[in-house]
Structure 1
Amino acid sequence: MDGPQHRSGADFQVAGKDYLRARSLRTGQAGWVLLAGLGIAYVISGNYSGWQFGLALGGWGGLLIATALMAVMYTTMTLGLAELSSALPVAGAGYGFARRALGPLGGFTTGAAILIEYAIVPAAISVFIGGYVESLHLFGITNGWPVYLVCYAIFVGVHLRGVGEALRLLLAITVLAILGLVVFAAGMIPHFSTARLFDIPPNGSFGSSWFLPFGVTGILAALVYGIWFFLAVEGLPLAAEEARDPRRDMPRGIKLAMGVLLVLGFAVLFTTAGGGGASVVGHGDNPLPAAARAAAGDGWLATTVNYVGLAGLVASFFSAIYAYSRQLFALSRAGYLPRWLSVTGKRKTPYLALIVPGTVGFLLAALTQDGAKLINIAVFGATVSYVLLNLSHIVLRRKEPGLARPYRTPGGAVTTSVSMVLAVAAVVATFLVDILAALITAGILLVLIAYFWFYSRHHLVANAPEEEFATLAAAEAELS
């Protein structure tokens, strides 16, 4: 490392070629189809389980409005991310975008919030997979921890073999999960009844009615669960350095993924509650099989969706491992987190960034066995990052209007301003739904920020890709 440089309230060192060579990813592995598959895979498990708890808090009408609001938030946010990922195609993604717009502290805070989200999500999903395996009486398993261990061992192992192999297998699993949702929706249409959507009686609270049985506050409480239909699609730009042509393919992949998720999410919301009944679906862990049984009995449809539901959970678990490893890799490579975590192996995979969070995730799953609590922790981290990601797009539009943008967000900063307002509402909603989970996440985030403030901001790497983008921007600003 060369001597320190001082700027932006942080100290930087220039890394030698050997440092960066030992921390390089394999490029050109993913075209726009694989990228879209990755974006869908991040989210697909949320269609199979999790969203249904919003029915118990907001009724079907409340959850419908909440989901529509979150659909607007994610659509407008992903349009902003499509622009940012085409202009700044780096593995740091959200951290890299915020780093350029908001400086080192803003960049690290955004990256840390994203890392919390993606490190916790697979732990939660492994608990759900364990529950599915137990409920299906597979392998005689009566305790979930062996399932968690096998999940982490197999899918971390696949990622260690290489990103190309991992993404192709992930696409196949994701297609199976999508087909399962299509079969389910088609099978439920003959049993659909509008009356079943509104079979939860009003509770007499302010604004309660047949459409909003828990009143206006039910909408806010259901926001967290409307997120489940789209949670984590924002992680797609993390694949930028491994894409074939990120400036062109990343916007195409993001938009296609979001379009598919919008169709799937609303199809599931309508057919599940309309076929099985909102009051039935809202109180179970597996909403699709429960709806199928309520509508058509214990037949082929319930059995099929029960097994295919495992594919949806596996797809999201698999993709979240990819996401946490790339976010940790980027933060470590730039010195925000311990540098040894970003070393890559012969196959150009960040093996320590895969193994270390995987070990922590397995321990969290085995010790808590509380998937709902873990997901709520992850959701708080996600919503904080959404506020900062949208803010980054707005700031860069104002601060750097001349930045080369191969793709431009329709509506510009107005579009992401809408998303930011909704993201702030989602942050507030997380405290209403699970204040303990929100406080746990806030505590973890504060500890990470303290690490940055007192230590890592004095040991940053000036020529890490995300930092080079920021350095170039600062130099251009001084010249102008």
Structure 2
Amino acid sequence: MPGLNRFATSLLRTKPVEQLAADGEHSALKRSLGLVSLIALSVGATLGTGIFVVLGEASPLAGPAVVVSFALAALAALFSALSYAELAGAVPVSGSAYSYTYATLGEIIAWICGWCLLLEYGVSVAAVAVGWGAYLNEFLAGTIGWRIPEALAAAPSAGGIINLPAAVVVLIATAVLLDGIKESARVTTFTTLLKICVLIFFVVVAVTAFNSDNLHPFAPAGIAGVTSAASMVFFSFIGFDAASTAGEEAKNPQRDLPRAIIISLVIVTVAYVLVALTAVAAVGVDNVSSSGASLATVLEQVTGSGWPATVLAAGAVIAIASVVLTVLYGQTRILVAMSRDGLMPKMLSRVGRKRIPTANTLIVGGVVAVLAALIPLGELVNATNIGTLVSFGLVNIGVLVLRRTKPDLPRTFRTLVPLVPLLGVGMCAWLLLRLPGVTWLAFGLWSAFGLVVYFGYGRRRSALERAANKAAVAPVA
């Protein structure tokens, strides 16, 4: 059955690494990001998401052992980060895991990976935006004694009508991205430094109330609680791969991308463990989980004064906004790569006068703003985690495949093969199995919709499909 064989072959066709590299070299995007900017991009996309937003949601699951949950999630992220670092140094293009998978596992797997990344980036931006609204309310209450009414600050299923602050911060980030990548990088670097200062301030204040009694019982729900919390706080490490989406805007991608990925993960892990430990030890798990703005609440209880909480809330308002900005950036660049390959409409890869994908940025910003306005935090976090874990697993497999198919490909960073990628796949699978059934159901529906889009649109318009058809009808010399 030649027709069936051709169909199956077309699903597993890979995009040559040389073609990916050529796409990156001839990109219309502007190369303006150095190592510091790339580190700021990754740290900015990661640091704050879990500590400012998810700590209060995860601590009831694990108790004080939520600190171990962060360490486990960091370990899972580390194996995948090392695989990302190898592929980012070898194939420095905008598509991140999507492009790496296209070069190693085939078009249909690349599509699934890209579809997961759209879920990861888009929904995580919405989740962070929801958390931003809680800190904005804390800041307003501490400065002018007024809070945004719940009807305008919560999703319909969370007791409100619309989460207006969440939608607004997404639209502000969209406007900053439209101003150009160099300007966006400056904003990201500034806000990342501010974020680190705010978290140092928190640790210095909270450690003055450190009480080891608050760490007992350490793991009231046992290993099951620790691993369930680890699955949730894995959300906190999403973003370390943001540098890999900037492969076509980095000045020296082969050298700087691997460094940025690994350095950013180390910075984020140290910050998360210190903040989680001091927060729980200072006031206990119940108090950490009692507020959407959990860290601000901790400082208020520790000091008995409102000003430290207000300072932290002010820093969080700016810092979390930077996460929205950097993750939104990452999603637009993945769409650029998918569009350039023909799997998404061409308008998503068209670059405007400031050498940014204008239509792409506007569409992504609008869709994410709607998600942030209408869906509550918990559902967004789990949906983000499952998309991320699937794409990370595929990146680890991609390293193994590329080592076998392209052993002589120049690599500026080499991880320990096959140990690290296999451990990465295993950790991703382990965390995936800890996610609730409703999350798997939502993911199944999202994946089914993605396959409908692929077979109805992407496959027939794929650049590789067009090239194959052209070759089939070309006259034989």
Calculate the TM-score normalised by the size of structure 2.
0.86
Structure 2 distance, partners of 1:131, 1:140, is: 10
Residue of structure 1 in register with 2:71 after alignment:
68
Residue of structure 2 in register with 1:436 after alignment:
438
Structure 1 stretch 446-455 or stretch 129-138: which is displaced more?
129-138
- Match 1:166 to one of 184, 187, 194: 184
Alpha-carbon distance, 1:7 to partner: 9.3
Residue of structure 2 in register with 1:471 after alignment:
none
Structure 1 distance, partners of 2:137, 2:276, is: 26
Structure 2 distance, partners of 1:182, 1:375, is: 25
1:392 and 2:410 correspond? no
Query: Counterpart amino acid of 2:389?
Result: T
Q: Percent identity?
A: 25
Residue of structure 1 in register with 2:3 after alignment:
none
1:157 and 2:161 correspond? no
Are the counterparts in 2 of residues 24 and 344 from structure 1 also a CA contact under 8 Å? no
Alpha-carbon distance, 1:12 to partner: 11
| Residue-pair matches, total | 438
Query: Counterpart amino acid of 2:316?
Result: G
1:57 and 2:61 correspond? yes
1:125 and 2:128 correspond? yes
Question: Secondary structure of the equivalent of 2:343?
Answer: coil
Residue of structure 2 in register with 1:275 after alignment:
282
Are the counterparts in 2 of residues 48 and 312 from structure 1 also a CA contact under 8 Å? no
Structure 2 distance, partners of 1:9, 1:104, is: 8
Structure 2 distance, partners of 1:283, 1:397, is: 48
Residues 1:363 and 1:80: Cα distance change in structure 2 (over 3 Å): same
Structure 2 distance, partners of 1:215, 1:151, is: 38
Cα shift readout 1:354-398 (whole Å, capped 9, x = no counterpart): 111211111222233x12212221121111111111111122223
Alpha-carbon distance, 1:69 to partner: 1.7
Structure 2 distance, partners of 1:371, 1:395, is: 37
Residue of structure 1 in register with 2:349 after alignment:
342
Are the counterparts in 2 of residues 122 and 320 from structure 1 also a CA contact under 8 Å? yes
Question: Secondary structure of the equivalent of 1:29?
Answer: coil
Alpha-carbon distance, 1:330 to partner: 0.9
Structure 2 distance, partners of 1:418, 1:262, is: 19
Question: Secondary structure of the equivalent of 1:455?
Answer: helix
The within-5 A match list for 1:246-265 is: 246-265=253-272
Residues 1:82 and 1:247: Cα distance change in structure 2 (over 3 Å): same
Cα shift readout 1:26-74 (whole Å, capped 9, x = no counterpart): 332100110000000111222212123222111122x233222211111
Are the counterparts in 1 of residues 138 and 293 from structure 2 also a CA contact under 8 Å? no
Structure 1 distance, partners of 2:447, 2:290, is: 32
Q: Structure 2: which 5+ residue stretches go unaligned? A: 1-5, 16-22, 154-162, 468-477
Cα shift readout 1:89-114 (whole Å, capped 9, x = no counterpart): 11111111111110111111111101
- Match 1:183 to one of 201, 224, 246: 201
The within-5 A match list for 1:191-206 is: 191-198=209-216
Question: Secondary structure of the equivalent of 1:136?
Answer: helix
Residue of structure 2 in register with 1:77 after alignment:
80
Residues 1:214 and 1:83: Cα distance change in structure 2 (over 3 Å): same
Calculate the TM-score normalised by the size of structure 1.
0.86
Query: Counterpart amino acid of 1:283?
Result: S
Residues 1:228 and 1:287: Cα distance change in structure 2 (over 3 Å): farther
Residue of structure 1 in register with 2:35 after alignment:
32
The within-5 A match list for 1:17-416 is: 24-45=27-48, 46-61=50-65, 63-137=66-140, 141-142=148-149, 143-144=152-153, 145-198=163-216, 210-368=217-375, 370-409=376-415, 411-416=416-421
Are the counterparts in 1 of residues 41 and 326 from structure 2 also a CA contact under 8 Å? yes
Structure 1 stretch 146-155 or stretch 164-173: which is displaced more?
146-155
Q: Structure 1: which 5+ residue stretches go unaligned? A: 14-19, 199-209, 468-480
Alpha-carbon distance, 1:283 to partner: 3.4
Q: Pairwise CA RMSD of aligned residues?
A: 2.5
Are the counterparts in 2 of residues 122 and 317 from structure 1 also a CA contact under 8 Å? yes
Alpha-carbon distance, 1:262 to partner: 1.4
Query: Counterpart amino acid of 2:266?
Result: G
Are the counterparts in 1 of residues 202 and 312 from structure 2 also a CA contact under 8 Å? yes
Residue of structure 1 in register with 2:19 after alignment:
none
Structure 1 distance, partners of 2:465, 2:346, is: 14
Query: Counterpart amino acid of 1:55?
Result: S
Structure 2 distance, partners of 1:107, 1:12, is: 9
Are the counterparts in 2 of residues 148 and 365 from structure 1 also a CA contact under 8 Å? yes
Alpha-carbon distance, 1:191 to partner: 1.1
Are the counterparts in 2 of residues 193 and 275 from structure 1 also a CA contact under 8 Å? yes
Query: Counterpart amino acid of 1:315?
Result: S
Structure 2 distance, partners of 1:438, 1:300, is: 42
Structure 1 distance, partners of 2:439, 2:445, is: 10
Residues 1:428 and 1:290: Cα distance change in structure 2 (over 3 Å): same
Structure 2 distance, partners of 1:7, 1:160, is: 40
Are the counterparts in 2 of residues 74 and 230 from structure 1 also a CA contact under 8 Å? yes
Question: Secondary structure of the equivalent of 1:252?
Answer: helix
Query: Counterpart amino acid of 2:292?
Result: D
Structure 1 distance, partners of 2:295, 2:108, is: 43
Structure 2 distance, partners of 1:243, 1:291, is: 39
Residues 1:237 and 1:189: Cα distance change in structure 2 (over 3 Å): same
Residue of structure 1 in register with 2:159 after alignment:
none
Query: Counterpart amino acid of 1:153?
Result: L
Residues 1:59 and 1:379: Cα distance change in structure 2 (over 3 Å): same
Residue of structure 2 in register with 1:455 after alignment:
457
Query: Counterpart amino acid of 2:423?
Result: V
